[in-house]
Amino acid sequence: YFLFNNLNPVKSKEFVTCFTDKSITVQSGQNVILPCQGPNDTGSIRVVKWTKPDLQKKIVHLYVDRRFDLEDQNPSFKNRVDLQDREMKNGDVSLILKNVTINDGGKYECSVTQKKDLSPFTTTITVDLRVINSKVALLDWSLVCIFPLCFSLLLLFFSYRKFKEISQCSNQPHFFVNENKKRKMI
């Protein structure tokens, strides 16, 4: 998580901007939380803006002056995004992205603007979302788990057969030839 107080911000007269990178990997079809932490004083949060810079229509989710503004939201995110905590308790402005697709991969920016006295302060973080095709993930899982399991079962099967052959041989009566050349059973 981005910690608002722990970065060295670049200061100007009107605002403070902080950048940090966070990378998240998720399988397609799953839900993911893109973390963003604003100031603990949630009453001072004026704007929370989630964007995806590589899109023509960049807005993923927008909160302005105590209301959600989805008018300019990119249509591909409609009904798929929401803040993890709509009340933004403790400054948590993390975004939930539902039913992730391959097209959702890329960089996301979270900007939090707060009103402090007369000058606004803005904090921006960048989250890099990597989406893995769930079919590929299933293939990886099968290679890691199923192949060794099958190999172990085959090894167990052949070991059992060999043990069975040896035990059958040991249960057979043994014959030997004595000095009188007569066969006797032991």
User: 17 with 2: CB under 8 angstroms?
Assistant: no
For domain 10-132, give the CATH superfamily: Immunoglobulins (2.60.40.10)
* Pairing mode of beta strands 81-83, 95-97: antiparallel
pLDDT (tens digit per residue) in 19-33: 456 888 999 999 999
Please give the residue that has the higher pLDDT: either 167 or 124. Answer: 124
Residue type, position 96, single letter: I
Say what the pLDDT of residue 72 is. 92
Across 9-13, 168-172, 173-177, the highest mean pLDDT is recorded for 168-172
Work out the number of other CB atoms within 10 angstroms of the CB of residue 6. 9
Q: Report CA dihedral (134, 52, 41, 113) to the nearest 10 degrees.
A: 180
Kindly tell me if the per-residue pLDDT of 65 is higher than 90. Answer: no
At 41, the pLDDT band (50, 70, 90 cuts) reads confident
pLDDT (tens digit per residue) in 136-162: 555 555 566 676 777 777 777 777 777
Helix (H) or strand (E) holding 15: none
pTM exceeds cut of 0.75: no
Bridge partners (DSSP) listed for residue 51? 59, 109
Q: What is the mean pLDDT of residues 48-65?
A: 93
Say what the pLDDT of residue 15 is. 38
At 4, the pLDDT band (50, 70, 90 cuts) reads very low
For the chain, what is the mean pLDDT? 76
At 39, the pLDDT band (50, 70, 90 cuts) reads confident
